[in-house]
């Protein structure tokens, strides 16, 4: 028995290289993972619902995230936590559009809108957003496929099994890595056929979106498999329930384990990390970069 190779600690770290992301007239990243800070302007988000739902509170939170080192701010007006109820498009737009307008004018930062609805995405892009982050991979609203191209916007395609209300009710996969990759490949091919270049499309395996705990582990362990799609790879694992369901972490606040996952994904070469805890993740990445550059 070889205690190194027979232990998970002895497994080699398969790596890819972070890919640059074309967003409107900018090219983001490529040399290191980008950090996307999460701003939920909903009353019922699983982590910070209600705390940043007013414009003043949202601006203050954005200022803090940018000071901590966020490269992108991801603004969402509809909770997609397991069991969440849908929000009418008008209400969702009323939550996100004034915030996006205010923060792009004040900070001039790159902003993503987290929405599944074409009308909300269009209004957000008109208000200054540069990226559409659709957790349904543009399957919920067929009109969404027509929105980003006219703006030159970046796109995030997230894998989700089912819908937020039902996605965690007994999801089953035969080979989660292959099935998630295959679904995302189909969506990338569809957008490519519509003229959207792959460097504008980030693919997200959808941690927690219709996945069992072991499915989330497998997707993180095999992130490099998504690199074959030719797109930047985004990981959104922050504070999610699979962390608290990990043996020995049941009482964790999920912060430190989440930073550990971010570092592991960075070592694999992920292009974008979508996180709540920007400061700790940025510090961890700076330390990692310093060690690797030595």
Q: What is the rounded end-to-end Cα distance, in angstroms, of the chain?
A: 34
Half-sphere exposure of 171 (CA within 13 A, CB side): 27
Catalytic residue among 61, 240, 254, 268: 240
Cα–Cα distance for residue pair 184/218, rounded to 1 Å: 16
Active site annotation includes 161 = no
Active site residue 240: yes
C-beta neighbour count of 66 within 10 angstroms: 17
The one catalytic residue in 19, 117, 187, 274 is 274
Look at residues 26, 204, 212 and name the one whose alpha carbon lies nearest to residue 114.
204
Residue 80 vs residues 75, 112, 116, 131, 150: alpha-carbon distances, Å: 13, 16, 10, 18, 26
Tell me the catalytic residues. 240, 274
């Amino acid at each position: 028995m070889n205690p190194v190779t027979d232990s998970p600690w002895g497994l080699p770290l398969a790596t890819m290289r972070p890919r640059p992301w074309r967003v409107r007239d900018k090219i983001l990243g490529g040399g290191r993972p980008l950090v996307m800070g999460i701003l939920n302007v909903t009353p019922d988000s699983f982590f910070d619902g209600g705390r940043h739902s007013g414009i003043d509170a949202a601006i203050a939170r954005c200022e803090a995230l940018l000071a901590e080192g966020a490269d992108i701010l991801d603004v969402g007006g509809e909770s997609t936590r397991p069991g969440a109820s849908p929000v009418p498009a008008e209400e969702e737009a009323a939550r996100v559009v004034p915030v996006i307008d205010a923060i792009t004018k004040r900070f001039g930062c790159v902003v993503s809108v987290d929405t599944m609805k074409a009308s909300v995405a269009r209004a957000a892009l008109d208000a200054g957003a540069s990226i559409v982050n659709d957790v349904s991979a543009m399957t919920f609203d067929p009109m969404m496929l027509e929105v980003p191209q006219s703006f030159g916007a970046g796109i995030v395609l997230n894998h989700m099994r089912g819908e937020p209300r039902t996605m965690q009710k007994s999801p089953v996969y035969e080979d989660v890595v292959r099935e998630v990759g295959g679904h995302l490949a189909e969506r990338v091919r569809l957008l490519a056929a519509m003229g959207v270049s792959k460097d504008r499309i980030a693919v997200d395996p959808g941690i927690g979106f219709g996945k069992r705990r072991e499915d989330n582990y497998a997707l993180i362990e095999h992130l490099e498999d998504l690199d074959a799609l030719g797109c930047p790879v985004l990981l959104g694992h922050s504070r999610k329930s699979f962390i608290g369901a990990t043996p020995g972490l049941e009482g964790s606040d999920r912060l430190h384990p989440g930073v550990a996952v971010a570092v592991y994904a960075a070592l694999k070469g992920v292009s974008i990390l979508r996180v709540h805890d920007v400061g700790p993740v940025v510090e961890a990445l700076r330390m990692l970069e310093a060690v690797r550059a030595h």
